[in-house]
Structure 1
């Protein structure tokens, strides 16, 4: 009886070991979490699986777009930027601005006034983090939200594109070898330059893909749900304007001087047009001289 029990225990242990090995092989082909530790499991529960997805023999370029409302945009911006740096990433764009809805000035005394602004703060950011830390960053960003307007996560499969790039690299290399066997002439130089240019473009494209595979790009838009109000102490400019708006003695003195200058300008202007005045005087003189002659002719009686 005791021997039978021992045999059954050994058989059960063997079956459990075989089942565990098969289960481990199955999970190795398709991993949803970023790693085997417990923290990766927590991340998978709070963000989309696309952010932490790993598939055997597949390579993905991952991007994300987050639009949400936060309590304080400035505080959330500082926190996100700090988290990005701690995760080994960097900020490529951050445009924090306050949109003024209205502003009014209220005079509080003869010297002082208060400028009241109603505004709403928002920030448009773009950050990049190591792809394996994308899920962790999205979790940290999610903790800052008051309301999530939208969030999209994209995992683009570039496996075939990478394979095609490898084939293109081999083709370009083969073309270079064929060109080197040609006789040196003008056509060979042009072919060689064209092939080298194509090779450089291919290398640049490979570098871009490698960089995008290593770092994920996240576009973030955050704003505050309600308007804020700022009270700014300023000078009562209206009272100062009224104080210096009109000075009778000073303005009368200036008017007298300006009138004198005006008379001078008129005299100078008349002097400048003296030929016109002279011609006009001559015309008037002859016209007046002809009129009496016409009247004398009309008064002579006819015989």
Structure 2
């Protein structure tokens, strides 16, 4: 009975646009399509997810989505998604398209030419933001590009109580400011007023963030190609070029001759630098040679 009641309530909501509430409870009969949604939006809701397009009476949601899928051509899909986002009044906050090289080999095709063969897989990580009322439509357009859907999540965070609390905090801060203004001017009043103003600024910033997130939904998208691609790039046969210039006899012989001449000069300069050592050594040799004949004479006399 309860299921039947819910279904009848939903049908009445879609056809007549009338809400039915009982005892202030937000049950399934509180759901309705956006006021700006037409019949196409209904199709979007059916084909994607009611979470993306739902509205609940007296409730406010921050909606986000995460899509992970495989596509035929990552570059083409990226351009198409970015174009769709712009047409829907949104914008791209992040897009990181890259090719992951799996292998890279070089094949020589002639003495001068070679072919570089790369096997790679292309992927892209994106983050886009669109008006919340267009979230379902964008998800449908993204879904049309898929070859295989790995995962998709759609979240609707209820921030109603947070918004009401922020309103109460704003009133409190305003009241505190009025009370501080009644105090006698001194150092303590200046500190209190400064702290209260800082708190007020932080509250305004938080309210701006919530308002922006309510107006625009964030979608994280990861797309990749299911198979490896092959790139054939014509290059120069570097091995043959290396062999060609690896050794040049005439040039190397000329350099060797010049380097040998410089080596002789360095040796001569080195000998000149150590001339005292050479002089002492020559004197020692001369002295030793001079003494050898006298020793031989003494030996012959002793033998006689």
**With structure 2 as the length reference, what TM-score do the two structures score?**
0.81
Is 1:103 equivalent to 2:100 in the alignment? no
Following the alignment from structure 2 to structure 1, what is the Cα–Cα distance between the partners of residues 274 and 147?
Answer: 80
Q: Is the 8 A contact 1:33 1:49 kept in 2?
A: no
Q: CA deviation at 1:182?
A: 1.4
Aligned length: 273
Q: Is the 8 A contact 1:32 1:44 kept in 2?
A: no
Q: CA deviation at 1:186?
A: 1.6
- Assess, with a 3 A threshold, how the Cα gap between structure 1 residues 268 and 155 changes in structure 2: closer, same or farther: farther
Match of 1:199 in 2: 200
Match of 1:180 in 2: 181
Q: CA deviation at 1:25?
A: 2.8
Following the alignment from structure 2 to structure 1, what is the Cα–Cα distance between the partners of residues 67 and 250?
Answer: 67
- Assess, with a 3 A threshold, how the Cα gap between structure 1 residues 32 and 26 changes in structure 2: closer, same or farther: closer
Following the alignment from structure 1 to structure 2, what is the Cα–Cα distance between the partners of residues 272 and 84?
Answer: 82
Structure 1 regions of 5+ residues with no counterpart?
Answer: 1-18, 293-303
Tell me how large the CA RMSD over aligned residues is: 3.0
1:14-72 Cα deviation digits (max 9, x unpaired): xxxxx979965346962353455211221111112111111000000000000000000
Match of 1:8 in 2: none
Match of 2:263 in 1: 262
- Assess, with a 3 A threshold, how the Cα gap between structure 1 residues 81 and 24 changes in structure 2: closer, same or farther: closer
Match of 1:151 in 2: 152
1:78-123 Cα deviation digits (max 9, x unpaired): 0000100110000001011111111111111222211111110000
The partner residue of 2:18 within 18, 25, 29 is 25
Following the alignment from structure 1 to structure 2, what is the Cα–Cα distance between the partners of residues 273 and 27?
Answer: 113
- Write the mapping of 1:44-123 to structure 2, written as runs, cut at 5 A: 44-123=45-124
Q: Is the 8 A contact 2:17 2:32 kept in 1?
A: no
Structure 2 regions of 5+ residues with no counterpart?
Answer: 1-10, 22-28, 293-304
**With structure 1 as the length reference, what TM-score do the two structures score?**
0.81
Match of 2:8 in 1: none
- Assess, with a 3 A threshold, how the Cα gap between structure 1 residues 133 and 255 changes in structure 2: closer, same or farther: same
- 2:33 partner SS: coil
- Assess, with a 3 A threshold, how the Cα gap between structure 1 residues 274 and 102 changes in structure 2: closer, same or farther: farther
Q: CA deviation at 1:270?
A: 5.1
Match of 2:220 in 1: 219
Q: Is the 8 A contact 1:84 1:90 kept in 2?
A: yes
Moved over 4 A (4+): 19-24, 269-275, 277-282
Following the alignment from structure 1 to structure 2, what is the Cα–Cα distance between the partners of residues 279 and 88?
Answer: 96
Match of 1:238 in 2: 239
Following the alignment from structure 1 to structure 2, what is the Cα–Cα distance between the partners of residues 131 and 198?
Answer: 29
- Assess, with a 3 A threshold, how the Cα gap between structure 1 residues 115 and 241 changes in structure 2: closer, same or farther: same
